[in-house]
């Protein structure tokens, strides 16, 4: 039985109570308590680190170097100063002083002559009668300005509220124009500023964006003119509606060129189209008359038709010449659309008053 149970135990199989030994039912007593099993032994102390032993360092003081031997100082050499040489007098200054002194002396006071002193300098000796003092010499004259002619500048000006004539005012055309009708016929330009215009010295807003400027213009009178020159005469400020009149400012394109241009119609068909049509009709009449005359040669009707066609062709030629003379001098038509960018150039300074300025 035990051999079978051992085999089953080896195969990890059990048959319950069949393979239990007889001693399994007995109580197994525990061994007596060992107090050493519950004692806590402290860990062994860590070994102290060993400091390396270095040989002692011995610092020996170096002996100070011997003091240098004193070098004998050379005896000071006293240079003999040469005696100052007398400077020769300036003959021009001597002559000028003599002339000035003679011109300032009264006839009764005597006169002065150049005399050389003991140190070699030229001096003026005054020969005056007894009791008369020596006149004072005039101070030397200094040049205050250049000898050439010049202009004097003005004093500095406060330009904080001035739009000077060298400024540009940018704007756009509020409405388009056609040069067939100028300002005398009812045409007028209105330019609306597109940028704020500030003062020169600081940030005073002088002409706000959106201000309106009224201008006049004339139609071109000559053939080949492709620009018109508007002249602006009134400004209405945006916001407070302050106005400025009699400006006489010119306007130009966005690059600063004087005058405004746009689409140019040279009217070629109006100038030469009528003359070409009349000349064609005259030539067709001649051809038709010549063809009719060739069919009826030496007949009275053919001769009459030939003479009539010749007269009709001549009349057409005269009419075409007259029409060409009238239409050839037609001026070109310039058309600019709304929103065209322009630049206004003041011809004089504009002073923008503030509310506190005296009227």
Question: What tens-digit pLDDT sequence spans the chain (359 residues)?
Answer: 567 777 776 766 655 555 665 555 555 566 677 777 777 777 888 888 777 777 777 777 767 777 777 777 776 776 767 777 777 777 777 777 776 665 554 444 444 445 455 555 555 544 444 444 445 555 666 666 777 888 888 888 888 889 988 889 999 999 888 888 888 877 789 999 999 999 887 678 999 999 999 999 988 887 778 888 899 999 999 988 889 998 889 999 988 888 998 888 887 777 777 777 777 777 777 777 666 666 655 666 666 666 766 777 777 777 777 777 777 677 888 889 999 999 999 999 999 888 766 65
Identify the H or E element spanning 313: helix 300-327
What's the Cα-to-Cα distance from 130 to each of 101, 108, 136, 174, rounded to whole Å? 18, 11, 17, 96
User: Angle, to 10 degrees, between the axis of helix 300-327 and the axis of helix 268-295?
Assistant: 170
- SS3 string of 39-97? CCCCCCCCCCCCCCCCCCCCCCCCCCCCCCCCCCCCCCCCCCCCCCCCCCCCHHHHHHH
CA atoms within 13 A on the CB side of 161: 7
Sequential DSSP letters for 198-241? E-SSS--EEE-TT-EEEEE-----STT---B--EEEEEE-TTT-
Q: Would the pTM of this model clear 0.85, i.e. be above it?
A: no
Q: What is the distance between the alpha carbons of residues 344 and 105, in angstroms, rounded to a whole number?
A: 69
Q: Could you tell me which of 336, 188, 185 has the C-alpha nearest to residue 260?
A: 336
CA quadruple 321, 324, 329, 333: dihedral, nearest 10: 170
Rounded CA gap, 13 and 28, in Å?
24
Contact predicate 248/231, CB 8 Å? yes
């Amino acid at each position: 039985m035990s051999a079978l149970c051992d085999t089953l135990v080896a195969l990890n199989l059990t048959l319950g109570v069949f393979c239990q030994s007889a001693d399994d039912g007995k109580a197994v007593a525990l061994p007596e308590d060992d107090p050493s099993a519950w004692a806590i032994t402290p860990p062994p102390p860590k070994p102290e680190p060993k400091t390396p032993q270095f040989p002692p360092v011995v610092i020996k003081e170096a002996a100070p170097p011997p003091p240098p031997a004193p070098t004998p100082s050379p005896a000071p050499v006293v240079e003999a100063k040469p005696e100052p040489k007398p400077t020769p007098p300036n003959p021009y200054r001597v002559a000028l002083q003599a002339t000035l002194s003679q011109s300032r002396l009264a006839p009764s006071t005597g006169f002065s002559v150049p005399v050389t002193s003991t140190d070699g300098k030229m001096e003026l000796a005054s020969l005056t009668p007894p009791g008369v003092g020596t006149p004072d010499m005039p101070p030397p004259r200094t040049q205050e300005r250049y000898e050439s002619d010049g202009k004097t500048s003005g004093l500095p000006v406060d330009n904080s509220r001035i739009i000077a004539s060298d400024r540009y005012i940018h704007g756009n055309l509020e409405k388009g124009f056609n040069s067939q009708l100028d300002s005398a016929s009812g045409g007028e330009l209105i330019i609306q500023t597109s940028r704020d215009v500030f003062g020169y010295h600081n940030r005073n807003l002088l002409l706000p964006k959106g201000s309106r400027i009224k201008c006049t213009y004339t139609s071109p009178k000559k053939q080949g003119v492709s620009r018109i020159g508007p002249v602006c005469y009134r400004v209405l400020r945006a916001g407070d509606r302050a106005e400025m009149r009699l400006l006489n400012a010119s306007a130009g394109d966005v690059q600063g060129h004087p005058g405004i241009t746009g689409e140019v119609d040279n009217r070629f068909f109006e100038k030469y189209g009528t003359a070409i049509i009349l000349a064609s009709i005259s030539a067709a009449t001649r051809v038709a008359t010549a063809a009719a005359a060739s069919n009826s040669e030496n007949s009275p009707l053919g001769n009459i038709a030939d003479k009539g066609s010749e007269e009709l062709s001549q009349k057409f030629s005269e009419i075409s010449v007259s029409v060409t003379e009238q239409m050839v001098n037609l001026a070109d038509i310039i058309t600019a659309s709304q929103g065209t960018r322009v630049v206004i150039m003041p011809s004089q300074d504009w002073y923008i008053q503030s509310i506190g300025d005296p009227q």
